[in-house]
């Protein structure tokens, strides 16, 4: 990730790629053991002014035979400003991840969370690591609820108890909702919002 254009991004990424490729060859091994190396440069500025695409892929190509390319090394440049100015397709996984990486447009991050489970988990972890104490606590409770649920499901599956799966799922989800609702209520968040976010009824929230 590069935020400032120092005018050397091509040399820098090429250097990183070369180091990555060379480091794959262990002492005593032959060249055929080398794996393909890919470098990804995410740029928070416009760099290739004459190229409209935000995602460009660079390889070594024979100049007289453009269909002949050495596939062992590959560089991807992604220019975030171009991505944000263009038509964003939230059905594409790349666009989902770029929305999260940029994080400046919260509505796009929310859409990415809804469409991509990995991004939803990453956002929860990011909020925990960067948020204030209240946000960290909410993120912790959400993560704890997911872990409790997964643990209960695994136990029930191992034992072959379908009834246990249903009960564990319901209890784990309910417990998570109640814990989050209590924390939100202590922060003075209105009851309607709490009920909407946690899927509890207003009456349930009032009793907490």
d(CA 112, CA 88): 11
Same domain, 161 and 196: yes
Same domain, 70 and 143: no
Same domain, 159 and 182: yes
d(CA 100, CA 120): 10
Q: What is the largest CA-CA distance in the chain?
A: 76
Residue 11: inside a domain: yes
Same domain, 151 and 96: no
Same domain, 105 and 45: no
Among 99, 124, 149, the domain-final residue is: 124
Same domain, 114 and 157: no
Same domain, 3 and 75: yes
Q: Which residues contact 3 (CB under 8 A, 6 or more apart)?
A: 44, 45
Alpha helices in 42-105 (DSSP H): 80-85, 93-102
Residue 111: inside a domain: yes
Same domain, 47 and 12: yes
58: which strand partners?
75
d(CA 127, CA 136): 7
- The model's pLDDT over 96-127, given as tens digits with 9 standing for 90+, comes to 999 999 988 989 999 999 999 999 988 877 77
Overall number of domains in the chain: 3
Length of the chain: 208
Question: Using an 8 Å Cβ cutoff, are 181 and 205 in contact?
Answer: yes
Q: Which residues contact 110 (CB under 8 A, 6 or more apart)?
A: none
Residue 28: inside a domain: no
- The model's pLDDT over 145-203, given as tens digits with 9 standing for 90+, comes to 777 777 767 766 666 555 655 555 566 677 777 787 787 777 777 777 777 777 778 78
Domain containing 120 equals 88-124
More confident residue, 39 or 191: 39
């Amino acid at each position: 990730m590069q935020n400032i254009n120092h005018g050397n991004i091509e040399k820098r990424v090429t250097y990183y790629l070369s180091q990555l490729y060379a480091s794959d060859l262990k002492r005593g091994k032959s060249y055929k053991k080398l794996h393909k190396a890919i470098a990804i440069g995410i740029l928070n500025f416009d760099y290739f002014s004459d190229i409209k695409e935000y995602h460009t892929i660079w390889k070594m190509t024979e100049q007289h035979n453009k269909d002949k390319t050495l596939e062992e090394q590959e560089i991807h440049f992604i220019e975030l400003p171009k991505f944000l100015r263009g038509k964003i397709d939230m059905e594409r996984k790349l666009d989902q991840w770029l929305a999260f990486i940029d994080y400046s447009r919260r509505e796009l991050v929310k859409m990415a969370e809804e469409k991509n489970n990995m991004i939803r988990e990453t956002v929860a972890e990011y909020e925990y690591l960067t948020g204030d104490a209240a946000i960290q606590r909410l993120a912790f409770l959400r993560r704890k609820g997911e872990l409790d649920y997964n643990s209960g499901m695994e136990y029930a599956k191992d034992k072959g108890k379908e009834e246990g799966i249903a009960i564990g799922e319901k209890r784990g989800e309910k417990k998570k909702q109640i814990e989050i609702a209590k924390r939100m209520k202590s922060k003075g968040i209105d009851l309607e919002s709490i009920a909407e976010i946690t899927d509890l009824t207003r009456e349930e929230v009032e009793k907490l």
